[in-house]
Structure 1
Amino acid sequence: MNEDYYELLGVSRDASTEEIKKAYRKLARTLHPDVNPDPDAAERFKKVSQAYETLSHEDKRRQYDMGGGPGMGDFPRGGAGFDFNDIFDMFAGASGMRGRNQGPVPRQRRGGDVLRRVKIELRDVVFGTEQQVAFRTAVLCERCSGSCCEPGTSPTRCTACNGSGHVQRVQQSLLGQMVTMAPCPTCEGHGDVIDKPCTGCSGHGRTATERTVTVRIPSGVENGTRIQLRGEGETGEAGGPSGDLYVELSVKSHEMFERDGDDLVTTVAVPMTTAALGATVPLETFDGVQELDIRPGSQPGEEVTLKGLGVTPLRRERRGDIRVVLDVDVPTSLTEQERELLEQFAALRGDEAERRKGHQGGPFAKLRERLQNL
């Protein structure tokens, strides 16, 4: 290599050691193989690293300036003035070479969340309810209370890492000898070792069991609503915080009522005479039997409203209504006496003449009338 070291680093020949160091770090950030995969960049990185190794070392720089040539050192070997911590700091985020300031990994871990689906009745939507939800989950080990150790024992400091949870690993790289940090394989990064794991939980601090939780279901919930119960899920390992329990609601269909927002809607069949004359009929609701007033002359599809007997919406007190749709039942078969009475009724109203006139009409009525007039 016959390049000028000062020119490679982009500094003047009277640059200070700090200026040389700053210039090298700037170039290394763009040329290091962990950042720039270009082969030419890797070759240039080797050159600027050799230049930095020479110019950052007081004796080597003096010999280089006296004409000793650019061969003072074949490649950086960590000589005086070459700070490997600077390189670690530059590339820790990209290549994960550093493990500085990392402490032991806690054994405690948050437990998982639990989801259970529950079916409820429409009545429960109207008034709200409480329901028992049973599920299998992890709970704190009663034998060790989450310590993971047999009663009377405790974890001991790991001798392999001296309780730090990490060990140093020496590797050879383009920069020479590199020291990295890795989780201790003996203690798995925890910093301590459990010599006698709890026989009740096999050293996990929790066991599996069946639990039953009371869930309060407010009125006004809808199909698919999820209720969150914090801390009612799985207990974490080694006594870690518990996850949450989620209860997803599924509302069963009702044989009589359908929900429409905050209202309940139903259809009631009433005889033709009742619709014509009017009446008060009983209606079974979630609040007991109510009287339904059908006014005289009610028409098919007409609605009768019962105020305040519907669903209580979430976070509000005012209930919706019950809307009753009238389905007027017209008889499909009549006895002789019923027919006579209806015909008398029709005659009184003048409906009989209209009925006969309607029967005489049709597509051939006008043609028949013209033929008769010929």
Structure 2
Amino acid sequence: MAEKDYYSILGVSKDASDDEIKHAYRKLSKKWHPDINKAPDAEAKFKEINEAYETLSDPQKRANYDQYGSADGAGAGFGGAGGQGGFGNFDGGGGFGFDDIFSQFFGGGQQRADPSAPRQGRDLQYQMTLEFEEAIFGKKTEIKYNREAQCKTCHGTGAKPGTSPVTCSNCGGRGYVVTETNTPLGRMQSRQTCPVCHGTGKEIKEKCPTCGGRGKTDERHTLEVKVPAGIDDGQQMRLQGQGEAGDNGGPYGDLYIVFRVKPSKDFTRDGSTIYVNQDITFARAALGGKIQVKTVHGDVELKVPAGTQTGTTFRLKGKGAPRLRGNGNGDERVTVNVVTPKTLNKEQKIALKAFAKASGDNIAGKGGSNFFDKMKDAFDK
């Protein structure tokens, strides 16, 4: 039995297709990525998810895992290390190959994946940090990251130019060899990855001088990226074919860019709606009039009605962020805060006392309450 159930980790069934496995991995890797999820166990879960995907996305590793309980074919012995009753290590690598027993007695067994079949390369992830305004309006930028690319000398074959890989002489192109072991139950057959071709089914007589037979080289890849207007913090963008090179002529994997957006000193954002706070004087709040308000699209005029109370919110239509999957912009919500002055000059005091007298207010009445206190209380309601 496998030490870890990779199918349960990804939340898929044992007969899940490659697309189902890839979809589950992308969903979980985004959820548990340590840069996105701040839970204490996020990093451990993220590594576990990657470990599961690395095995189940590779046909050869998945076949070994399904048969032996490990990606390299060396799973736990029957009943654990050492086995039960001395019956451990029937396959010579610690795994008890039940399908090999069936294969010997009944001629059946698990169908092996073609080791020479094209396989897509691994997906990669890149984190991009944006200023608040860059996320609103988008931009074009250039990124650089490391990846495995197809060798330009041998075009991925791993063989020296002018030569080609040949069928492995040790396994006959099957990618595995069959061994026999004497056990208390008789002679048992088991399958192991071919030590000559390492499961590829191909043998390279003369290796490529550039990649040493790998068929791939490490490169610093440069890519121009167009960041869409309206992207938000935590969202990601998929760039097809910008991941790592595949095997046996398989396509490149994909690149996933995860966006991090820096906060703004003036604005906050929820989707396409932008929020801003605006201070106004109590005279403007009482008399009404036009004020200048900041938006990401530039300053605009906002008409404040007479008698506006602190905390009142106004809507500026179309002055928010672009809708990423829609047309037009969201709105901006402006919340006004009526500011009471801490100090007054002589003319202001005279004017306010006249206003208080005209209003019938006693600025030095009982209880020490004065006009300024009443004005402050009125605007704080």
Q: Does the pair score TM above 0.5?
A: yes
Change (3 A) 1:177 1:214: same
1:356 alignment partner, one of 364, 378, 381: 364
Q: How does 1:143-162 map to 2 (within 5 A)?
A: 143-162=153-172
2:322 partner amino acid: T
Aligned to 1:244: 254
Deviations 1:23-78 (A, max 9, x none): xxxxxxxxxxx79x997xx9xxxxxxxxxxxxxxxxxxxxxxxxxxxxxxxxxxxx
Change (3 A) 1:180 1:269: closer
Q: Contact 1:108–1:239 at 8 Å: present in 2 too?
A: yes
2:169 partner amino acid: T
Change (3 A) 1:311 1:98: same
1:285 alignment partner, one of 295, 307, 322: 295
User: SS of the residue aligned with 2:365?
Assistant: helix
Aligned to 2:133: 123
For the pair shown, the structure with the greater C-alpha radius of gyration is 1
Aligned to 1:301: 311
Q: CA deviation at 1:328?
A: 1.7
Change (3 A) 1:126 1:167: closer
Q: How does 1:181-330 map to 2 (within 5 A)?
A: 181-330=191-340
Aligned to 2:181: 171
Q: Contact 1:183–1:189 at 8 Å: present in 2 too?
A: yes
Cα distance in 2 between the residues matched to 1:358 and 1:317:
60
Q: How does 1:61-72 map to 2 (within 5 A)?
A: none
Change (3 A) 1:144 1:350: same
2:130 partner amino acid: I
Change (3 A) 1:197 1:38: closer
2:343 alignment partner, one of 325, 328, 333: 333
Q: CA deviation at 1:145?
A: 0.9
* Percent identity over paired residues: 32
Q: Contact 2:116–2:200 at 8 Å: present in 1 too?
A: yes
Change (3 A) 1:327 1:103: closer
Q: Contact 1:103–1:166 at 8 Å: present in 2 too?
A: no
Q: Report the RMSD for the aligned CA atoms in angstroms.
A: 3.5
Change (3 A) 1:189 1:284: closer
Deviations 1:256-308 (A, max 9, x none): 11113432111111222222222222233222231111222222112222111
Cα distance in 2 between the residues matched to 1:334 and 1:226:
53
User: SS of the residue aligned with 1:288?
Assistant: coil
Cα distance in 2 between the residues matched to 1:100 and 1:223:
46
Q: CA deviation at 1:198?
A: 1.0
Aligned to 2:150: 140
Cα distance in 1 between the residues matched to 2:104 and 2:129:
51
Of Structure 1 and Structure 2, the greater helix share is in 1
Moved over 6 A (4+): 97-101
Cα distance in 2 between the residues matched to 1:265 and 1:229:
32
Name structure 1 gaps, 5 residues minimum.
1-33, 43-87, 362-374
Cα distance in 1 between the residues matched to 2:190 and 2:337:
83
Change (3 A) 1:298 1:170: closer
Change (3 A) 1:160 1:306: closer
Q: Contact 2:116–2:202 at 8 Å: present in 1 too?
A: no
Q: Contact 2:232–2:271 at 8 Å: present in 1 too?
A: no
Aligned residues: 280
Aligned to 2:30: none
Name structure 2 gaps, 5 residues minimum.
1-77, 88-97, 370-381
1:135 partner amino acid: Y
Q: CA deviation at 1:153?
A: 1.2
1:277 partner amino acid: L
Cα distance in 1 between the residues matched to 2:304 and 2:177:
86
Change (3 A) 1:163 1:237: closer
Q: Contact 2:104–2:189 at 8 Å: present in 1 too?
A: no
User: SS of the residue aligned with 1:345?
Assistant: helix
Q: CA deviation at 1:217?
A: 3.5
User: SS of the residue aligned with 2:354?
Assistant: helix
Q: What TM-score results when the alignment is normalised by the length of structure 1?
A: 0.64
